[in-house]
Copies of this chain bind each other. A is one copy, B any other.
Amino acid sequence: MNAPTAADRIWTAALVIIGDEILSGRTQDANLAYLARWLNIQGVRLREARVVPDDMEAIGAAVKACLAAHDYVFTTGGIGPTHDDITVDAVAAALGLPVVYHPDAEATLRAYYGDRITEARLRMARVPQGADLIPNPETGAPGIRLGRLFIMAGVPKITQGMLRGLDGTLEGGRPVLSASVGAWTQESRVADLLSATQAKHPEVQIGSYPFWREGRTGANFVVRAVDPQALRLAVEALMQGLSADGIEPVEGEL
């Protein structure tokens, strides 16, 4: 075993998804999965997510709790020009900061809207004092970075554009690698094998995800690890174990 290095430090993040439309079931969130994969490439693990309504206190409490528990916190939603866009105010109030107009954001919005600029549109230049901007390649309204806190749009295409601009700017550790083994079996039939394989390979994490398709029962076993060698060994052990049990394993997802 090598001594632990800075690269072994696990960097974690939380996502706060803001919006009545998610909690009412009207809109399906599409940012969590994208952010999770993007974070993993940066060497950061998404460890928690919360969905909160358009409510000052709920937003503020979630952001504060997540900042206390994780290295990075992302929010999505509630940064547009309308009355229900209260993320900036809620974050600023929770952190005890005044809300100010960011001069660069104001300039960007004035350039984007020209003589159609209005007070409502300038609302999108408001930030908690001390914040930097995250460029938005899709529309004029920027995201906001306040140290370890990233305030992003709710519309997935816009959020994804903002994340592209942040590529490589976060300090992180090693990404989690994963590999899948699929089999047409009930997961309950191989529970002991999974458990024994997990015990023999403590450096990896094995997840079991059953499915029912075409009238048949199957499962995908996902092995996750930061070390490629440990991942390879666990996958091989699992595949050999399944074969020994008379179950044909498939490398990759079924």
Contacts and interface: CB of A to CB of B under 8 A. Distances in A.
Interface in A28-51: 28-30, 32-37, 40, 45-51
Given A48-B52, A50-B48, A53-B47, A21 B81 contact: no
Number of chain copies forming the complex: 2
Interface stretch (A87-95, A125-133, A189-197, A242-250): A189-197
A108 interface: no
Given A191-B83, A192-B120, A206-B83, A48 B51 contact: yes
B82 A21 contact: no
Interface stretch (A142-150, A208-216, A232-240): A208-216
Contacts of A34: 25
Nearest to A211: B155
A224 interface: yes
A23 interface: yes
Given A21-B222, A28-B33, A209-B27, A51 B52 contact: no
B22 A188 contact: no
Given A24-B224, A124-B188, 15 more contacts: A21-B209, A23-B47, A25-B33, A25-B34, A27-B33, A28-B30, A48-B50, A48-B53, A81-B191, A82-B208, A83-B191, A83-B194, A84-B205, A118-B191, A155-B211
Interface of A: 19-30, 32-37, 40, 45-54, 58, 80-85, 116, 118-121, 123-124, 155, 157, 176, 178, 187-189, 191-192, 194-195, 198, 205-212, 222, 224
